[in-house]
Amino acid sequence: MDPRLPAVEMHPSRWGDPARAASLPESARGLVEAVFGIDERPAATDVAVPPPALDEAVLDALRAAVGAEHVLLDDATRRLRTRGKSTPDLLRQRAGDLSDAPDAVVRPADHDQVAAVLALAVEHRLAVVPFGGGTSVTGGLVARREGYAGLVSLDLVRMKRLLAVDHTSMTATLEPGLRGPEAEALLAAEGLVLGHYPQSFEHATIGGFAATRSSGQSSAGYGRFDALVVGLRVATPRGELRLGSAPASAAGPDLRQLLLGSEGAFGVITEVTARVRRLPAEKVYEGWAWPSFEAGAAAMRTLAQAGLLPTVLRLSDEHETAINLARPDAIGAAGASGCLMVVGHEGEPEPVAARRTAVASVLAGLGGTPLGEEPGRAWAHGRFDAPYLRDAMLDVGVLVETLETATFWSRVPQLYDAVRTALVGALGEPVLVLCHISHVYETGCSLYFTVAASGGDDALGRWQRAKAAASDAIAATGATITHHHAVGTDHKPWLPAEVGELGVAVLSAVKAELDPTGVLNPGVLV
Ligand SMILES: Cc1cc2nc3c(=O)[nH]c(=O)nc-3n(C[C@H](O)[C@H](O)[C@H](O)COP(=O)(O)OP(=O)(O)OC[C@H]3O[C@@H](n4cnc5c(N)ncnc54)[C@H](O)[C@@H]3O)c2cc1C
């Protein structure tokens, strides 16, 4: 087997490594039964994938571009490249709806092969969906196929090289198909680390992080992914863009920013040059308790504005703290009261000790209670596990989904209330709405909501209505429709409220210039 192919493919209608799929832990099952009732909902099996609709001449041209063995038409591969991993995506897969399956999965080896596939797409009018890890939660992999001769999933899985390391400038150039742990292992061999740990880290890719402006759990210390990127190479139907020739530049507007977050609609990112750090010698995570979400959030603001941010800083609201979501292995077990904050420090022992003391002194002074390292260790241990619970909840008929936004500090209480009210109103009791803050800035923070409600016979429709209500509430408070999940197709209706019709027109003009025939991810972003 080609060593560049993924060691683990995710199940088509579940999250993550199939070997780690879990049923509900006993503590959670009790809670679910008490609150929502158990309503077993097995996923449809052996659903046929619509037959590929590409003619042989086009397939031969694609085979000539990337090699015959890298143009795949089989049902299993096409099923695995159908949509992403939002709850609506999973619900559609579970219901046996494979109408968005690509006609072919094409796996280029390098930039030139990507460019060759794009040229063929223009020539034969093929819609092309760049596919990284397939963890999109905003419909970023659900392109429009009407008006196209076929739909091709451009699977970047073979593009997995660490192309260059500059130890003097502390940058590394990576190919887009590297999954989080693969990039981490290559950099660790150089004594380096990227420091980007979204919850989807184990499956999402370098190209996907850049294409969606992803933000990880250590964003307070390392920065969001778009802040790590110093250079990009991009293949577009009009040719190549190489961006980022210096650490900073006044040569007009920063074109890298146009490509970061462009979700495969402007071009295919084929190389990412990112800032790297030395591997941390020490990692320490600890818990703090706060009497209220407001008090904990005020403490986060104080740290951010004092320039005293730790590497990890997250705060669960009273609801999330009580449910114990920070510890997926103990979900539903008697939770703590108040609000749990996790504070993590990574780096060399001396600066870690100094910062830890300084941060602790600020937090204690503001009314925080230190809980020691156990809650921090528990969080770090289970940090990538929570998504498996969503499948277990869907199995018993409970709708679970997340959404996120961000705003300035002065508007956080209003945003928090508006989103909660919208979700509770749309879904009706019983519903659980949990929230945490995990990305903070001097001027504001993101709010990340987790929602659980009974799904019933129309779980998809129920979620779509709730999501629309929450999105309207977000727009009405002037917050962003997405802090780090991107626009995709799901957030598109709210983009004009955020950037204005003129802003959308600017994005459309960029798309028209780079992709004049509209073959790249049609319907995504713009
Ligand atoms: C359980 C779960 C947890 C998550 N947690 C986080 C989190 O903590 N933080 C966070 O930021 N996000 C999170 N996400 C969202 C998702 O993981 C991110 O958006 C991630 O950056 C997507 O990367 P990917 O490689 O999976 O991209 P994909 O899902 O494959 O693609 C995402 C979009 O980018 C485009 N694209 C992919 N690769 C390229 C490329 N090389 N060039 C151009 N376009 C490309 C695709 O066409 C698509 O529109 C989570 C998702 C799930 C399901």
Beta strand ranges found along 224-333 (DSSP E): 229-236, 239-243, 268-275, 277-278, 282-290, 312-316
Q: Report the alpha-carbon distance of residue 127 to residue 124 in Å, rounded.
A: 9
Give, in degrees to the nearest 5, the angle at Cα 225 between 347 and 451.
100
> In ligand 1, which atom is closest to the CA atom of 136?
29
Determine which helix (DSSP H) or strand (DSSP E) holds 60, and give its type and residue range. helix 56-66
Phi, psi (rounded to 5 degrees) for 193: -145, 145
Q: Whose CA is nearest to atom 44 of ligand 1?
A: 264
Q: Whose CA is nearest to atom 2 of ligand 1?
A: 200
Which residues does ligand 1 sit against, CB inside 6 Å? 15, 84-85, 129-137, 140-141, 156, 176, 198-200, 204-205, 207-209, 211-212, 214-216, 263-264, 268-269, 387, 484-486, 521, 524
Phi, psi (rounded to 5 degrees) for 96: 85, 15
Displacement of CA 148 from its chain's centroid (Å): 28
> In ligand 1, which atom is closest to the CA atom of 177?
41
Phi, psi (rounded to 5 degrees) for 513: -75, -45
Record the tokens describing residue 497, joined without a space: 């409220």
Per-residue pLDDT in tens (0 to 9) along the chain, 526 residues:
566 666 689 999 999 999 999 889 887 898 899 999 999 998 988 788 999 999 999 999 999 999 999 999 999 999 999 999 999 999 999 999 999 999 999 999 999 999 999 999 999 999 999 999 999 999 999 999 999 999 999 999 999 999 999 999 999 999 999 999 999 999 999 999 999 999 999 999 999 999 999 999 999 999 999 999 999 999 999 999 999 999 999 999 999 999 999 999 999 999 999 999 999 999 999 999 999 999 999 999 999 999 999 999 999 999 999 987 655 555 555 556 799 999 999 999 999 999 999 999 999 999 999 999 999 999 999 999 999 999 999 999 999 999 999 999 999 999 999 999 999 999 999 999 999 999 999 999 999 999 999 999 999 999 999 999 999 999 999 999 999 999 999 999 999 999 999 999 999 999 999 999 999 999 999 9
Q: Report the alpha-carbon distance of residue 293 to residue 422 in Å, rounded.
A: 19
Asked whether the whole model's pTM tops 0.75, one would answer yes
Tell which residue, 226, 233, 156, has the closest CA to residue 194.
226
Report the C-alpha dihedral over residues 332, 313, 447, 522, rounded to 10 degrees: -110
Distance 136 CA to ligand 1 centre (A): 4
Q: b/e map of 389-412 (b: 16 or more CB within 10 Å)? A: bbbbbbbbbbbbbbbbbbbebeeb
Pairing state of beta strands 339-347 and 282-290? antiparallel
Residues 6+ apart with CB under 8 A from 244: 229, 230, 231, 232, 256, 273
Q: Report the alpha-carbon distance of residue 44 to residue 79 in Å, rounded.
A: 13
For a substitution probing ligand 1, which of 135, 158, 388 has the most ligand atoms within 8 Å of its CB?
Answer: 135
DSSP for 138-164? Answer: SSTT----TTSSEEEEEEGGG---EEE
